[in-house]
């Protein structure tokens, strides 16, 4: 375990500039670097540090070595009134996902709702970024992706499916959008890495060792351990739906045919898949009434009786949007593991910066 | 605790006849009774006894007292290329849900995929019944519903959301469809009732008591206890999505404005909501390839390394389809709690039958 640096406070604007600089330094196009910087700076401002700029190290490596392309754009290869299949053309996952959700929103504007599946993509970071795009347009957004297997099935002693993130966003009026972003495992792999990098023991329901037994040793993951599915057969079953919507239906690679974006050769595409849904609320219901009903639902949950010692009940995303408001004023405080990874990365790519 | 009867073996055909008889006896139309009998006999043949004919007692009561209507049909009140909003017209939940999924399948045939939301429905039984309808048409199907609150949020000591079932089905070729049907609670309320009726103590992660503490006393539920959400904030967050897709977007009643279909006055509608999605696989991908890829995914999971002592790995629905194959040959063996409830019900409605 290397010595961890201090947390680092940085303004969202400077952080965005830094992310752009890193990607531009390894040769990314301005347009693609901007899309990735928007996504990662937003994610860090939510306090979701496992899926923010910490990922840059893998992304810069893939851009530098050609596994991710930034001189081509994703494209629609087939479509109909309420769907499209997009070839990500080995662009960065954020670029392919942003294009796909924009396509879903456009289709939903005409048809009412739409699905867009993406193949030949890469790791897309936090799924919530794309769902939030739909909520910004007063639509319900859903995002999912597949990934190399890291999650066991009940009874298996090896991983069979990816963490296969799932996210949704629902627009509200007085409140920020409801926004959930979860892995189908008990926790995302990033949390196991982060705990390990911070020298912490992990709870015994996060991973299983090579024999299938629960363990608190995070260092075993991912080589000699698999993540436990959330709630057993339920999380496993949901991960299989995500594999199907993000992978099978989109025409992407599946399970072990997806490459590990962190550890596999950075000069080859990873062939991740992703899936996006947009629901155009305003054509189905009166938009004002819908927003009032969502606000009312949130108020009702806020006002529900609390367990002694609990001050507040939160709806999904509420903590993240509050952290973002604070970050807009006071900057983002990057935790030690993120600062460490970012400093290693800038050294590796030979970038001189005074931001981290 | 009353004396429990013996399990009862009955052929699927006789069981279907029995369910029809019960509903017809209280005045249901032949067409609506047939839809409900199809759904409940299918569910019992899967071995999902908490959501099969055990529910008949509540349904017959609502038909008898007018809370569920069988002389009107559900109708589309607004629609577009890839969506429809359906008024269930206080028909039985199975009738409204079947109409809605058929509508979604029809829309998906034209547009590629579709969402149908239903308001003014009732409890619809097992969500998997409707998802399976889509898989029968070589489509991916998703079904969800809301219900009166019974599930706590992390930090609440009362229920804030329903169990809000979620189901999906994916067609395969050599294998039966993948079929998941889960509650957003650790377990469905029906499992707490069933354990209580069988005199069993429940695990301490199923419910919380009125102060918010975990308890193993199933008799507290539902009056003095709430179900725990599966995987804490994840299940709670997913339940809120189901409330939104089944309730808010469909225009249905929400949370405490949904009536309890078991205990509230049987002469009034319950105003449940439900939501359905159908994805027309064949327009997006080559159908043969898609089915082969789903088969391959299932094979891969079957062949994954198993924990010592585990013989087989299952995909969702596999156990249920196998039980159904056995039930087609040997009949369904209704468990004691179901037999008890059915005998009480036939006495209450005054039906003479030699089946149960």
pLDDT digits (tens, 9 = 90+) for B212-252: 999 999 999 989 999 999 999 999 999 999 999 999 999 99
Nearest chain A residue to B113, by CA: A82
Domain extent listing, chain B: 8-185+229-284+330-349, 196-228
| B117 contacts chain A (CB < 8 A) | yes
Q: For an interface test with A, which of B76, B79, B83 has the most A Cβ atoms less than 10 Å from its Cβ?
A: B83
Reply yes or no: is the peptide bond before residue A202 cis, omega within 30 of 0: no
Average pLDDT over residues B30-55: 97
Whether residues A297 and B233 touch (CB distance < 8 A) is answered with no
> What is the C-alpha separation between B31 and B22, in angstroms, rounded?
14
Alpha helices, DSSP H, located in chain A? 12-25, 30-45, 56-65, 93-111, 128-136, 189-197, 233-242, 281-284, 287-302, 318-330, 336-349
> What is the C-alpha separation between A203 and B320, in angstroms, rounded?
33
Nearest chain A residue to B299, by CA: A160
Nearest chain B residue to A115, by CA: B113
Taking 70 as the threshold, does the pLDDT of residue B23 lie above it?
yes
Instruction: List CB contacts (< 8 A) between A155 and chain B.
Output: 306-307, 310, 312-314
Is 0.90 exceeded by the ipTM?
yes
Taking 80 as the threshold, does the pLDDT of residue B1 lie above it?
no
What pLDDT sits at residue A2?
Answer: 57
| A316 contacts chain B (CB < 8 A) | yes
Find, among B273, B314, B333, the residue nearest to A160 by Cα.
B314
**C-beta contacts of B34-40 below 8 A and 24+ residues apart:** B35/B92, B35/B94, B35/B95, B35/B98, B36/B92, B36/B94, B36/B95, B36/B125, B39/B94, B39/B98, B39/B125, B39/B126, B39/B129, B40/B94, B40/B125
Whether residues A157 and B307 touch (CB distance < 8 A) is answered with yes
CA angle B97, B189, B257 (to 5 degrees): 60
| A80 contacts chain B (CB < 8 A) | yes
What pLDDT sits at residue A196?
Answer: 87
Nearest chain A residue to B254, by CA: A297
A8-185+229-284+330-349: what CATH class?
alpha beta
> What is the C-alpha separation between B251 and B219, in angstroms, rounded?
34
Average pLDDT over chain B reads 96
Q: For an interface test with B, which of A284, A299, A300 has the most B Cβ atoms less than 10 Å from its Cβ?
A: A284
Cα torsion A10, A143, A183, B240: sign:
positive
Q: Residue A157: which of B81, B249, B306 has the nearest Cβ? A: B306
Whether residues A113 and B155 touch (CB distance < 8 A) is answered with no
Q: How far away is chain A from the Cα of B58, in angstroms, using its nearest Cα?
A: 28
pTM as predicted: 0.97
Digit-coded pLDDT (tens) for B129-181? 999 999 999 999 999 999 999 999 999 999 999 999 999 999 999 999 999 99
Give exposure, B5-40, as e/b (b: 16+ Cβ within 10 Å). beebebebebbbbbbbbbbbbbebbeebbbbbbbbb
Would you tell me which residues 83-102 of chain B have a C-beta closer than 8 angstroms to some C-beta of chain A? 83, 85
Would you tell me which residues 231-270 of chain B have a C-beta closer than 8 angstroms to some C-beta of chain A? 231, 233-238, 240-241, 243-245, 248-249, 251, 254-256
Q: How far away is chain B from the Cα of A59, in angstroms, using its nearest Cα?
A: 28
B70 Cβ contact partners less than 8 Å away, ≥ 6 residues apart = B27, B28, B29, B32, B33, B63, B91, B92, B95
CB atoms within 10 A of CB B74: 23
What pLDDT sits at residue A188?
Answer: 84
Q: How far away is chain A from the Cα of B268, in angstroms, using its nearest Cα?
A: 23
Q: Residue B81: which of A81, A156, A281 has the nearest Cβ? A: A81
Would you tell me which residues 4-33 of chain B have a C-beta closer than 8 angstroms to some C-beta of chain A? none
Q: Residue B244: which of A140, A300, A314 has the nearest Cβ? A: A140
Whether residues A248 and B297 touch (CB distance < 8 A) is answered with yes
Average pLDDT over residues B323-349: 97
Digit-coded pLDDT (tens) for B252-293? 999 999 999 999 999 999 999 999 999 999 999 999 999 999
Nearest chain A residue to B114, by CA: A113
| B286 contacts chain A (CB < 8 A) | no
Q: Residue B234: which of A114, A182, A310 has the nearest Cβ? A: A182
Taking 70 as the threshold, does the pLDDT of residue B2 lie above it?
no
> What is the C-alpha separation between A202 and A215, in angstroms, rounded?
8
Whether residues A279 and B115 touch (CB distance < 8 A) is answered with yes
| A224 contacts chain B (CB < 8 A) | no
What are the phi and psi torsion angles at B231 (to 5°)? 55, 40
Output the tens digit of pLDDT for each of chain A's 356 residues.
Answer: 457 899 999 999 999 999 999 999 999 999 999 999 999 999 999 999 999 999 999 999 999 999 999 999 999 999 999 999 999 999 999 999 999 999 999 999 999 999 999 999 999 999 999 999 999 999 999 999 999 999 999 999 999 999 999 999 999 999 999 999 999 999 888 889 888 888 889 999 999 999 999 999 999 998 999 999 999 999 999 999 999 999 999 999 999 999 999 999 999 999 999 999 999 999 999 999 999 999 999 999 999 999 999 999 999 999 999 999 999 999 999 999 999 999 999 999 999 998 88
Q: How far away is chain A from the Cα of B28, in angstroms, using its nearest Cα?
A: 32
How many A-B residue pairs are in contact by the CB < 8 A criterion? 223
| B134 contacts chain A (CB < 8 A) | no
What pLDDT sits at residue A131?
Answer: 99
């Amino acid at each position: 375990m290397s010595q961890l640096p201090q947390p680092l406070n940085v303004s969202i604007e400077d952080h965005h500039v830094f992310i752009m600089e890193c990607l531009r330094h390894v040769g990314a196009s301005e347009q693609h670097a901007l899309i990735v910087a928007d996504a990662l700076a937003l994610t860090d401002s939510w306090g979701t540090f496992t899926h923010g700029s910490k990922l840059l190290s893998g992304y810069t490596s893939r851009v530098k070595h050609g596994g991710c392309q930034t001189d081509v754009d994703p494209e629609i290869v087939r479509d109909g009134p309420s769907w499209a299949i997009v070839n990500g053309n080995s662009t960065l996952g954020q670029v392919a996902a942003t294009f796909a959700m924009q396509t879903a929103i456009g289709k939903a504007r005409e048809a009412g709702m739409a699905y867009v599946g993406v193949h030949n993509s890469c790791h897309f970071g936090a799924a919530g970024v794309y769902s939030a795009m739909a909520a910004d347009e007063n639509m319900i957004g859903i995002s999912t992706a597949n990934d190399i297997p890291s999650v066991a099935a009940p009874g298996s002693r090896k991983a069979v499916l990816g963490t296969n993130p799932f996210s949704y966003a629902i627009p509200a009026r007085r409140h920020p959008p409801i926004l959930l972003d979860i892995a189908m495992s008990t926790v995302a792999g990033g949390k196991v890495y982060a705990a390990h990098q911070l020298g912490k023991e992990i709870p015994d329901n996060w991973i299983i060792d090579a024999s299938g037994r629960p363990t608190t040793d995070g260092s075993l993951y991912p080589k000699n351990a698999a993540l436990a599915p959330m709630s057993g057969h339920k999380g496993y079953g949901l991960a299989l739906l995500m594999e199907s919507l993000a992978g099978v239906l989109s025409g992407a690679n599946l399970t072990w045919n997806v490459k590990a974006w962190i550890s596999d050769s950075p000069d080859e595409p990873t062939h991740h898949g992703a899936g996006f849904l947009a629901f155009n609320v305003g054509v189905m219901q009166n938009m004002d009434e819908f927003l009032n009903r969502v606000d009312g639902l949130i108020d009702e949950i806020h006002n529900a009786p609390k367990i002694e010692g609990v001050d507040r009940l939160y709806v999904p995303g509420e903590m993240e949007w509050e952290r973002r408001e604070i970050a807009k004023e006071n900057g983002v405080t990057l935790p030690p593991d993120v600062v460490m990874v970012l400093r290693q990365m800038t050294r590796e790519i030979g970038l001189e910066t005074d931001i981290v």
